[in-house]
Structure 1
Amino acid sequence: MRAGGQHPWELSLSEQQQRDFERDGFVGPLPGFLSIDEVDALRRELDDVVSNRRSHPLYGRFSVRDWHLVSPLAMRLFTHPAIVRRLQQLAGEDLLLWRSKIFHRALGDGEMGWHQEWGWFNGEELGNDRPGLIPSSVGGDWWNLTVWVALEDLTPDNGPLRFIRGSQKTRFPIQRVPLVDSAFFRDPFLGDPDVATLVERARDNRLVLDVDTSRMFDGIDAHLLSRDALKTYVRNWLSSLQAAITLPFDAPAESVVTLTMKKGDFVIFTERTMHALLPNDTASTRIAIHCQVTTSDTLVYPGRLRGDFTDGSNLDISRHRCVLLSGRKLNRANACLHEEAGTLLAGLAPRAHGLLGERLLDRAEAPGLHCWENRLDARTVPFLGDSKMRGSVHIPGVTYVEMALAAAEAVLGRRPVSVEDVEYHHALVLQEDGARRLQLSLQREGEGAAVRVHSRPAEGAGAWQLHASLRLRPDALALPEPGSDAVRAGRRSAV
């Protein structure tokens, strides 16, 4: 247990954090859950995408969008319970992951000014009006949430994220300007590409993000232009395109928040909240990734229904798919990878022993700590029905031992162990109309381990309660296999 009694694997927002979100329009930074090695691996993967302007397999051109549909690690990041359960607290059970985006800030990348997205995602920042989302009803509330994950430490100098508290309650006016003056424009001459590279990028739609530049040099021999003349030509061509910027406004200094974050940490916000990025004034590239999640009754890319497969970012989204994160797919017109929540995640991260549930990713700041989590009710495992007393299900003590043995095999390998120092602290009782969120933590101790089992109500943010603790030690005498008839027999007879 951490100081203050917080469970080492806290996957929910506290009541105060939920109030902060409602008031401010964002909540975070929240602690990361990927290991440092996994964060670094994802960073390298995404850096390669942007640095080499990789063609997206689904879109047939360079894009920083939707690499979660290509990268198993990015998919695992956004479908992890640490993200999904917090989103459920804010937006309900029925959730669709429909978009992600890489943020790559190199030396020389300036500030990305204040902007907000009211919820249509129609590409107005590029002068387009092709809605990405149509909610089931248009009221005064948001219907999309963003999860923004830092893939390296964010400092005040390398392009951190900024918010204006409470700005999600006001729609700020915008103005049409030339594309080169918009908050999202990135100078295509950064890095000083030669003429051949620049022309090739333009023809392959890799010159300016989300802009079709394939015909930029039609009728022009760019190799005959001086470098200054080429820059002028490219800038004038791009200036002919329109984009949107937020008009200047005054914000109280105390409402402006700059988030410094550790690698792997994340923040959740509604895109209606005014946000911006400071410039990267360091010599290193700063990389982050975010995803967009909407309620599953929202229609994603409505243009598809009338045969229009170009979105507001000028991408061909005919092969795009949503991911059902949790709950039900309420709008049947949406194209999803799988029709049932968790199907894809189960394929990427198989579940462990049935009692343990899902193994959570190890955390770098807690070496040797391994955790599992499961939602437990009378229907979860059939044998629990045999332990009913006056309508309630009492979990037998031997169940904790079996869970500990299964966890030990996953972490320590299949070897003989002895069970020592078993203590039962509080009975775990399941009421007929209630469910519990069960967590088992295994902390390595040399060749052995200490195991603790906690639970709390499945809904809400109730306190964690310790049910059992024990130690496992290497032993020449093997115990029964987890799930064996001997263990099952003992489990049924225990009171």
Structure 2
Amino acid sequence: MTTQTSPSFSLSPGELEDFHRNGFTGPFTLYEPEEMKQIWRRKRIELMDRSAAVYQDELARSGATNIANYDRHLDDDFLADHIARPEIVQRVASILGPDVLCWRSEFFPKYPGDEGTDWHQADTFANASGTPQILWPGGSDFGGTITVWCAFTDAMIDTGCLQFIPGTHRSMNYDETKRMHYDPATTTTEKDGVRRGFFGYDYRELQIDPDWKPDESQARSMQMRAGQFIVFWSTLMHASHPHAGKTQQMRLGFAGRYVPTSVRIYPDTEQIEEYGGQVSLERYGAVLVSGEDTHGHNRIATETTRGHAFGSDAR
């Protein structure tokens, strides 16, 4: 009798060493390109229905800011399974340890002609409000989150793929307590013909040294086919190319963000304050995707707002 064993997707010792040195690993294939294309053809219509979304505030319903793209895994079955896929979770647990929460997800669309996203790092995610959204234990002032960025459409240089500066994840060049000022009319910056912005903010407002500039000569472009994903520290210097408009297909990334269960999420607050407004966290919950939560710091969601158990159909 042959006993079948589940495949292991944990990072190998070599992959883990590379990750700690560079701050990222991948890309890895999760869905075949045609499979991803078919999934997104269906999902882009279904996700227009926000009736079960956790954020029902006017700011989110308007769709005018990125908050409308937050945490759709909390109401959509496919995304609820996606964030818990073993191909993702086992790799993340290789880095963070066995007890892991997914605390946020976001869509990152880039349409033909859109500017690139400016260079940035994120540690406590206090960059917009000045109030930490995640806090690591032990009084640590440096932590960040593991981001798993999956290409739902092809992400090439011409369509605005990610860029990383390897090895920059160990120290912060930005002071998130300074707080950025939101202005939807914020102009883009241009260097060597590359247009960049940051969703109505100027990330340079947070620079510890106002004269510092990232060493773009070390940047690497992370091209991915639809259905591939990459894993990186949020404290890694990252950006994206502009969408050159050579194709009418938008570039779409879906990012899940992961932390150990020991991290406090949205500590001492009941709202997200970003993009010139607030949304309520009344219906929010983090998702336990691996191990157990013995800390009890955070509100945990066990199923979507539509009653689908997290990861129940993950393969």
| TM-score normalized with structure 1 length | 0.51
CA contact (8 A) 1:121 1:312 kept: no
What are structure 2's unaligned runs of at least 5 residues? 189-196
The structure with higher relative contact order (CA 8 Å, sep 6+) is 2
Q: Is the 8 A contact 1:102 1:287 kept in 2?
A: yes
Could you say which residue in structure 1 is the equivalent of 2:194?
A: none
> Does the 8 A contact of 2:153 with 2:227 survive in 1?
yes
Q: Which residue of structure 1 aligns with residue 53 of structure 2? A: 57
| Match of residue 274, structure 1, among 230, 234, 237 | 237
1:311 maps to which residue? 272
Q: What secondary structure sits across from 1:23 in the alignment?
A: helix
Q: CA–CA distance in 2 between the matches of 1:262 and 1:133?
A: 31
- Superposed, 1:374-385 pairs within 5 Å as none
Aligned mates of 1:144, 1:70 — CA distance in 2: 22
Counterparts of residues 60-209 of structure 1 (less than 5 Å): 60=56, 61=61, 62=63, 63-118=68-123, 120-122=124-126, 124=127, 126=128, 128-139=129-140, 142-173=143-174, 176=180, 179=183, 180-181=186-187, 183-185=197-199
CA pair 45-327 structure 1, distance change in 2 beyond 3 A: same
Q: Give the whole-Å Cα distance in 1 for the aligned partners of 2:135 and 2:300.
A: 16
Tell me how far apart the structure 2 counterparts of residues 27 and 150 of structure 1 sit (CA, whole Å).
Answer: 15
- Give the RMSD, CA atoms, in angstroms: 3.0
Q: 1:250 to 1:272 in 2, by over 3 A?
A: closer
User: What are the within-5 Å matches in structure 2 for residues 425-436 of structure 1?
Assistant: none
Match of 1:321 in 2: 285
Post-superposition CA distance 1:416-468 (Å, at most 9, x none)? xxxxxxxxxxxxxxxxxxxxxxxxxxxxxxxxxxxxxxxxxxxxxxxxxxxxx
| CA shift digits 1:392-418 (9 cap, x unpaired) | xxxxxxxxxxxxxxxxxxxxxxxxxxx
What is the CA distance between 1:46 and its match in structure 2?
Answer: 5.5
The higher radius of gyration belongs to 1
CA gap 1:27/1:46 in 2 versus in 1, 3 angstroms: same
How far 1:170 sits from its partner (Å)? 2.0
Q: Is residue 289 of structure 2 the alignment partner of residue 291 of structure 1?
A: no
Local SS of the residue matching 2:309: helix
Instruction: Determine the C-alpha separation between the residues in 2 that align with 1:302 and 1:243.
Output: 26
Q: Which has the higher helix share?
A: 1
Equivalent residue pairs, number: 277
Change over 3 Å in CA distance of 1:297–1:98 after alignment to 2: same
Matched with 2:297 is 333
User: Secondary structure of the equivalent of 1:168?
Assistant: coil
Q: Distance in 1 between matches of 2:81 and 2:240?
A: 26
Tell me the secondary structure at the aligned position of residue 104 of structure 1: strand
The 3-state SS of whatever aligns with 1:27 is strand
Report the alpha carbon displacement of residue 334 of structure 1 after superposing the two structures with TM. Answer: 1.0
> Which of residues 3, 10, 13 is equivalent to 1:12?
10
Supply the distance in 2 between the matched residues of 1:56 and 1:274 (Cα, whole angstroms): 35
Distance 1:242 1:29, change over 3 A: closer
Does the aligned pair in 1 maintain the 2:287–2:310 contact within 8 Å? no
Contact 2:105–2:257, Cα closer than 8 Å, also in 1: yes
CA separation of 1:138/1:28 partners in 2, compared to 1, >3 Å: closer, same or farther? Answer: farther
Determine if contact 2:109/2:253 at 8 Å carries over to the other structure: yes
Residues in 2 aligned to 1:316 and 1:291: alpha-carbon distance in whole angstroms:
20
Deviation at 1:132, TM superposition (A): 1.3
Q: Partner amino acid for 1:185? A: F
- Alpha-carbon distance, 1:345 to partner: 4.1
- Of 12, 16, 22, the residue aligned with 1:24 is 22
Counterpart AA for 1:137: G
Q: 1:59–1:315: 8 Å Cα contact kept in structure 2?
A: yes
Q: Give the direction of change, closer, same or farther, for the CA distance of 1:346–1:64 in structure 2 (3 Å limit).
A: closer
Contact 1:134 1:300 in 2 (8 A): yes
1:67 positional shift: 0.6
Check whether the contact 1:103–1:288 (CA below 8 A) recurs between aligned residues: yes
Could you say if the C-alpha distance between residues 85 and 178 of structure 1 is closer, same or farther in structure 2, counting changes exceeding 3 Å? Answer: closer
Structure 2: which amino acid aligns with 1:85?
A: Q
SS in 2 for 1:258: strand
Match of 2:267 among 288, 293, 302: 302
Q: Residue 44 in 1 paired to residue 7 in 2?
A: no
Q: Secondary structure at the match of 1:335?
A: coil
Letter in 2 for 1:115: H
Alignment of 1:464-483 (within 5 A): none
Q: Matches of 2:114 and 2:298 in 1, distance apart?
A: 36
Distance 1:184 1:80 in 2: 30
Unaligned runs of 5+ in 1: 1-6, 187-238, 350-359, 361-495
Residue in structure 2 matched with residue 260 of structure 1 by the alignment: 223
Contact 1:110/1:278, CA 8 A, preserved across alignment: yes
Contact (CA 8 Å) 2:134, 2:263: kept in 1 or not?
Answer: yes
SS at match of 1:281: coil
Change in 2 beyond 3 A, CA 1:154/1:145:
same
